[in-house]
Chains A and B, each alone.
Chain A
Amino acid sequence: MNASRRNLAAFFALLAVGAVMPMLLGQARFPQWLEIVLGGLMSGVLYSLVALGLVLIFKASGVFNFAQGAMVLFAALSLVRLMEKMPFAVALAATLAIMVALAWLVERLVLRPLVNQEGIVLFMATLGVAYFLDGFGQIVWGNDVYTLDVGMPKEPKIILEKTFEGGILVNTEDLIAALIAALLVAALALFFQKTSTGRALRAVADDHQAAQSVGIPLNRIWVIVWSVAGLVALVAGVVWGSKLGVQFSLQQVALKALPVVILGGFTSIPGAIVGGLLIGLGEKLSEVYLGPSFGGGIENWFAYVLALVFLLFRPEGLFGEKHIDRV
């Protein structure tokens, strides 16, 4: 146990040193560095949004939902296309209904027939769902790039002009996204802790059979969980889509949620947040300061390598549960 804590402390110490290295080496001054850090943290929040859906589903059904990214894209696509025909609020409600219907279908057609299979089989099933959703979304909604305008302010703001010369540039859109994410997390935390459904979800996450034996309806719980994950995907889709435009590459971005969940631990909501922030931060810093010496493009793999290194020190992630093999 102690060795693990020491490793963790060493890992974070190394990260912290790496983070401030550019300033120590004179490559950057504090205001610019702060801008980049803030930018990294904010994109980290966006990663956390996607990771949240992953953690929710894993917590409640033990399934690693590879289709989360596809769900984000599908939600964003549905919203954007529906918005062409109806006002924003109606389109939002309609998309939510679609995601709930999707959750119900997945539970009925995929999860229920595979209920006693091992995790790896369920994971591959979600892979299939991801592919299916991909093709289906494109056929139904089309495969162009769509702009999603939900009224987010696009101009950057300059803050703290008095403290630092020239002030610090922040992206207002990202700021609002961070706020939305915070609200979502708070709402989810309340849901899990205070409501009976939340309690039931936590019971199911612990032990399917035990939960069933006390009368918790497994199937309905799964539909609820996947619907909530769908809602989270929708929020993530709105935020990301507004920033990047709704297009296929949204899914690739969502793939980054995987290292986030690894860092944070698969079963931890705070882990998804912290993991996202770390990944976002690390990515931005490494791309700006390390990138040039490597020829650029580091952010394609930095998150994964960071997760890999982290796992070597702590295979269960930051807040994940340690796995004891009993024979």
Chain B
Amino acid sequence: MNLRELEPGQVARKPGDVILSLDGISLAFGGVKALSDVSFDVREHEIRAIIGPNGAGKSSLLNVINGVYRPQQGRITFRGEARAAMEPHRAAAMGIARTFQSLALFKGMSVLDNILAGRNLMMKSNLFLQALRIGPALAEEVRHRRRVEDIIDFLEIQHVRKSVVGRLPYGLQKRVDLGRALAAEPRVLLLDEPMAGMNIEEKQDMSRFILDVNDEFGTTIVLIEHDMGVVMDLSDRVVVLDYGKKIADGTPDEVRASQAVIDAYLGVKH
């Protein structure tokens, strides 16, 4: 089962060049500063974690990366192109996909349809042919269905593929969210608290999925996570945010030992 052909001789896991870099990003909503002068980079094929106490601005950072929010200052460089802000559909077209903390699934559609929707960018046939559902339009539907079934197998949700998403238990919904992001065959996958609300077994499953995606397809992963065990185990490098500012950046061990990080999590007398 191959979601994407690997280049010959390439080991997916070793981090490559910088694929995404943020420089001096500042974001404010009215008077509330969500992010202040945040800069860091992400190397291709690596797993980069973003951690920090609640309200530190982690989700806002992801939203800036894929264009849901426009930062007031700073630049985003993705695959060599620098710009002041991303737009959602451009981010999607360039190969960024994401999952959401609050799922944001299409509750009225089935699992199959949700994941098929993730492949929307690759479906090219026009309206008229779709109405007739013959020839290229039909072939396209079948071809993409095949790929989506691969993803469904990968995430082990075959038994609920035709169920309406709104009625599934939380853990399965999380997998559909991941499936929808994977369907786009992204270069960079943004995961917003993928383990939230899960028990130990579910976390192990999800960790396995994340590692498999990174191992086999070389997808760069940026993930927000609260579970320190998961972060330390999975990630190559970690960024720590607090009150919208970056306070640490390095390997998991470096970050764990940093005084600033300890202060942020445990609190410091002012």
Contact = CB atoms under 8 A, between A and B. Distances in A.
Contacts of A327: 59, 63, 68, 100-102, 104
A324 interface: yes
A324 B34 CA distance: 14
A327 B101 CA distance: 8
Given A324-B29, A327-B63, A327-B100, 5 more contacts: A327-B59, A327-B68, A327-B101, A327-B102, A327-B104
Contacts of B59: 327
Q: Which size bracket describes the interface of B in this complex? A: under 10
A325 B63 CA distance: 11
A37 to B, nearest CB: 38
Contacts of B63: 327
A210 to B, nearest CB: 18
A325 B104 CA distance: 12
A325 B29 CA distance: 12
Is chain B's interface secondary structure helix, strand, loop, or mixed overall? loop
Contacts of A325: 68
A325 B68 CA distance: 9
A327 B59 CA distance: 8
A161 B102 CA distance: 68
A231 B132 CA distance: 56
Interface string B78-110: 000000000000000000000011101000000
Contacts of B29: 324
B104 to A, nearest CB: 6
Nearest to B63: A327
**Which range holds the interface residue count of chain A?**
under 10
| Top 6 A-B pairs, shortest CB-CB distance | A327-B100, A327-B104, A327-B68, A327-B63, A327-B102, A324-B29
Nearest to A325: B68
A324 B102 CA distance: 16
Contacts of B104: 327
Contacts of B68: 325, 327
9 contacts: A324-B29, A325-B68, A327-B59, A327-B63, A327-B68, A327-B100, A327-B101, A327-B102, A327-B104
Interface string B97-138: 000111010000000000000000000000000000000000
A327 B104 CA distance: 7
Interface string A292-327: 000000000000000000000000000000001101
A309 B157 CA distance: 48
Interface in B50-64: 59, 63
A113 B119 CA distance: 39
B107 to A, nearest CB: 11
Interface string B33-68: 000000000000000000000000001000100001
A327 B224 CA distance: 14
B19 to A, nearest CB: 23
Nearest to B62: A327
Contacts of A324: 29
B243 to A, nearest CB: 19
Nearest to B100: A327
Interface in B152-170: none
A121 B78 CA distance: 43
A120 to B, nearest CB: 13
Nearest to A322: B30
Contacts of B100: 327
B95 to A, nearest CB: 20
A116 to B, nearest CB: 14
Contacts of B102: 327
Contacts of B101: 327
A327 B69 CA distance: 10
Nearest to B59: A327
B162 to A, nearest CB: 25
A324 B28 CA distance: 13
A327 B66 CA distance: 12
B92 to A, nearest CB: 14
A327 B62 CA distance: 10
A324 B29 CA distance: 10
Nearest to B104: A327
A324 B69 CA distance: 11
